Amino acid sequence: STDLVITQILVEEKTQRDPAAVAYAAKFGKPGAQKFSKPKDSEKKKKKCDYCKKSGHVKEECRKMKADNEAKAAEKPKELVAKIVTIDEPEPQALSFSLFMAEALATRQDVRTKWIVDSGASATMCSHRDWFMYYSPLSSPIKVWLGDERFINAIGKGRVSLNVPTGNGSTHNVVLVDVYYVPDLNGNLLSVSQFTNRGGHVNFVGSGCELSDARATVKVQARNRQGLYILDATVDTSKSALIAHLSPSSSDPPTPLVANFAGVDKVSKATLDTWHRRLGHVNFKSVLKMVRKGLVDGMEITGDKVSKHTCKPCFEGKHARTPIRTISEVDNPRLLHRIYADIVGPMQTVTRQGYRFSNNHVEAKSHYNMVRLQKTKEETADETRYVIERAEMETGQKLNFLRTDGGGEYDSTRFRQYLKSKGIHHEKTTAYTPQHNGVEERFNRTIFEMARTMLNDAGLPNSYWGDAVLYASYILNRTPTRALPNGITPYEAYTGNRPYLGHIRIFGCKA
C-alpha cells in the first residue's frame, strides 16, 4: 500500500543519516509494521494495572508504582560501586573495552588472591572471609554495583592485616580498615577514593603506583600487570586466624589511630627493665617466659636477662600491709589492767537531752562496759576521767593501760597530764587500723544494733536513741558473752555477784 512504501522510504533515509538506527530497527522493528494509530478509549478502559488494580493503564505505565519505587530507593542504605575498566588487545589494529566484573575476576585465577588498586571502587572490598582479623556482619546487606548495572551484596565489614615489603629485605605489617566483605566479588579491591579521603597518598609513576599513609611512614608498591595495579602485599594469616565475630546489633569497630594503615615494626627491641615497665610492671620472670617460650610476637629482649636494680615503683605500688591477727595476744591478768575506749558520733538525730555522742568503755578482763553520753567531743576527756575514777573506786584496783585511737579528743595537754599523774600508760592504735582496738569496735556495733532493734520494736522516734543505748549497755552487762569462760556475764566477772533481772521490762512499754 501507499502507507507501507512511505514508511520504508523514511526508514531508509534515516539509516543513511544514522547507521546506529539499523541495530535499533533490527531489534525492535517489526516486519510489516503498520502506521501507528492512537488506541481508542474503549481499548484503554479494558486495560487493568496489575500493581494498583485500577483500569485505564498497565503496570508499566502505573504512576503509583513509580512513586513507591522512588520512595523505597530513598530509604535504601548507601550503595557501593565496583567498576574497573580493562583493555584487552588481541590484535594491534583493534582495541575493545570491557568492564571488569565478578565474572571476569573468576576467570583470572592469578588475581583472586591479590589486592587490586581500583580508582573506580567507592570502598575497599574483600571476597575472602578468612582474611579478616576483625569482622562484624552488617545489619542489612549493602548493594555493590558492577559495571553492567548489576549488583552483588556486601554482608560484612572489618579489618584485614597485610605484610608489605620495605625494600631492605624486611617487612611491615599494615592493617586495612573499613573493608567490606563481598563474597560474590571473586576478588579484592583497594579503593583509591576511600584511601585518599582518609589522608592517604597515591602516586602513579611509570609502570606502577605507590601508596603511603598520611605521614608517609609506610609505603606500599602496586605493579601494573595487564592493565591492573596489583598490590605488592600478602595477607598476614597468623593474625587473620583470630577473628573477632560480633552480632549484627553490635556497633562498628572503633576508628584506628591511623586513617588507612596502622604500621608496626616487625620486632621491637628493648632491655628487660624497659619491657618490665612497658608491660605494667609485670613480674620479671613472666617477661622472660613470654620471650623464651614464644608466647608473643614482635618482642625481643636485649642486654642482660637479669635485672640489676630494684624497681622502686613496684614496691610503692604493690606494697601490701601485713595481715592483722584475728586473735589478740594481749594479756589482762586482773580487773582494770586495761580499758578500751572509743567515741561514736556525731549522730544525725539529737536526743531529747541534746546528746550527739556516745563515749563507750570496755574493761578488758571482765568485758564490763561503761557508756557516757556527750553533747560535744570536748567533753571526752572529762567523761573518760569520770569512768576511770569510778571504776577504780568500784574494783579497788588501779588502771594500768588505756587504749584509744589517735583522735585529738584523747590527745589534749590536760588529759595527757592527768594520765601521767595517775601512772596510766596511754596506748594509741595505728592510724587507719581500727582492728588494733577490736574489742571496743565490736562492742560499738553490738550495742547500736541492739539499740536500733529496740527502737523499731517500741515504735519510738530516733530522738530516743540515747535512752536505747544506755538500756542496751545495762542489758549487755547482764547477758553472757563468749569472750568470758564458763559463759558467765560481764556483771558477775566485774562485781563477783550474779545479776538480778526481775525488774527488766520491754523497752518503750507502758509503765
pLDDT in tens, 47-73: 788 888 888 888 888 888 888 888 877
Q: Which amino acid is at 201?
A: H
pLDDT at 370: 92
Domain ranges across the chain: 108-235, 268-318, 338-495
Q: Is it the case that residue 430 has pLDDT exceeding 90?
A: no
Give the confidence band of 474 by pLDDT, cuts at 50, 70, 90.
Answer: very high
Q: Is it the case that residue 44 has pLDDT exceeding 50?
A: yes
3-state class (DSSP) for residue 267: coil
Taking every pair of Cα atoms in the chain, the longest distance, rounded to a whole number of angstroms, is 150
Q: Is-contact 280 170, C-beta < 8 A?
A: no
pLDDT at 469: 92
> What are the percentages of helix, strand and coil residues in the chain, rounded to 5?
35, 25, 40
pLDDT at 2: 67
345: left (phi over 0), alpha (psi -120 to 50) or beta: left
**C-alpha cell of 281?**
610492671
* Nearest residue to 48 via CA among 34, 38, 66, 60: 60
The C-alpha R_g of the chain, in whole angstroms, comes to 46
Q: What percent of the chain has pLDDT over 70?
A: 73
The arrangement of secondary structure in 108-235, i.e. its CATH architecture, is Beta Barrel (2.40)
pLDDT at 168: 66
pLDDT digits (tens, 9 = 90+) for 229-278: 887 778 876 655 444 444 444 444 443 333 344 444 467 888 888 888 88
Q: Is-contact 241 273, C-beta < 8 A?
A: no
Q: Does domain 338-495 have CATH number 1.10.1200.10?
A: no
Query: Per mean pLDDT, which of 26-35, 173-182, 387-396 is the most reliable?
Result: 387-396
Q: Is-contact 190 115, C-beta < 8 A?
A: yes
Higher pLDDT, 90 or 229: 229
Q: What percent of the chain has pLDDT over 90?
A: 10
Least confident among 43-57, 339-353, 476-490: 43-57
Residues 444/446/448/449 CA torsion (nearest 10 deg): 150
**C-alpha cell of 386?**
569520770
Give the confidence band of 25 by pLDDT, cuts at 50, 70, 90.
Answer: very low
- Give the mean pLDDT of 98-116: 59
Interatomic CA distance for residues 501 and 489, integer angstroms: 12
Averaged confidence pLDDT in the chain: 76
How many Cβ atoms sit within 10 Å of the Cβ of residue 175?
20
Higher pLDDT, 85 or 335: 335
